[in-house]
Amino acid sequence: MPELPEVETLKRELEKNIVGKRIRQVCVHHPAVIRQPGVEKFKKELAGATVTHVLRKAKVLILELSTGKSLTIHLKMTGQLVYPGNGKASRVSFLFSDGKTLDFNDQRLFAELRLLDDWRSLPFIQGLGPEPFELTAQQFAQMLSVKKTKIKPLLMDQAFISGIGNLYAAEILFRAGIHPERSAAVLTGREKEELFKQVNEVLRQAIRYGGSSVDEYVRLSGKRGDYKKYHKVYDREGLPCLSCKTPIKRTALGGRGTYFCPRCQV
């Protein structure tokens, strides 16, 4: 599932490509992905609107429009945005007045598109914890010190910190040398500092490479993100650890496949 780096990549690419463009028409090929309002209203209220800003909150994209409304896009499992698109696999196509098309694809139909008066009032957005890049090391350490939960599910808890999912939690913990089942509250000051550093470094590096294409995620151009080749533990069960050669282990933690090195992560 796309996480912060993938959604941030799309945000930056959308910003370059569609801000200032006017939506001429919206074609809905599969109404299931449109959660709010009804399909006809969705189409009617988007027609004629110009995209003024593109924002990201956690894993949600927000397109602010000249009409005062906003289109929120949560890609969930298999959502894709492709520009310029050809409409072939799209669930919803946004046709701009210059003749180009933004395609929204979603094989599994879990994605959520909403046209809202105020995106800030969306319950999902209101429940989000702070963005990783907006935190200081001190604030992060303070947040950890009061949590007795295991560190990996905590990093993935969107109410605790927003934007990190299963893949990046695994990569961050490996690089910080912290076992995924450690309790957050017992981490030492130095471990908390290292964890904060790795949260920032891993996410920033992943954005630099356009995110990780491990499933359906693609960049706006339709090309795959390149960060997968820098993964150190995710999806590497049984392969030698890149630091110590011990085979990488996979366990289930909080219902999610969790990859780690039993020697490097203590």
Binding residues vs Zn ion (CB under 5 A): 241, 243-244, 246, 261, 263-264
Sign of the torsion angle spanned by Cα atoms 16, 217, 127, 146: negative
User: What dihedral angle (degrees, nearest 10) is formed by the CA atoms of 46, 49, 51, 54?
Assistant: -40
Catalytic residue among 43, 216, 256, 262: 256
Could you tell me the smallest distance in angstroms from the CB atom of residue 178 to Zn ion? 13
Could you tell me the smallest distance in angstroms from the CB atom of residue 169 to Zn ion? 17
What whole-number distance in Å separates Cα of residue 210 and Cα of residue 151?
26
Q: CA gyration radius for the chain?
A: 20
Nearer CB in complex with Zn ion: 53/263: 263
Nearer CB in complex with Zn ion: 120/263: 263
What whole-number distance in Å separates Cα of residue 93 and Cα of residue 37?
17
Please give the structure tokens belonging to residue 116.
């809202």
At which residue do the structure tokens 């209220």 appear? 45
Could you tell me the smallest distance in angstroms from the CB atom of residue 223 to Zn ion? 32
Catalytic residue among 57, 59, 91, 236: 59
Q: First vs last Cα of the chain: how many Å apart?
A: 27
Nearer CB in complex with Zn ion: 160/259: 259
Nearer CB in complex with Zn ion: 57/249: 249
Active site residue 3: yes
Nearer CB in complex with Zn ion: 185/244: 244
Question: Apex CA 249: angle with CA 227 and CA 156, to 5°?
Answer: 55
Could you tell me the smallest distance in angstroms from the CB atom of residue 206 to Zn ion? 21
Task: Find the residue with minimal CB distance to Zn ion.
Answer: 241
Please give the structure tokens belonging to residue 255.
């219902």
Question: CA 266 from chain center: how many Å?
Answer: 28
Could you tell me the smallest distance in angstroms from the CB atom of residue 242 to Zn ion? 7
> Which residues are annotated as catalytic?
2-3, 59, 256
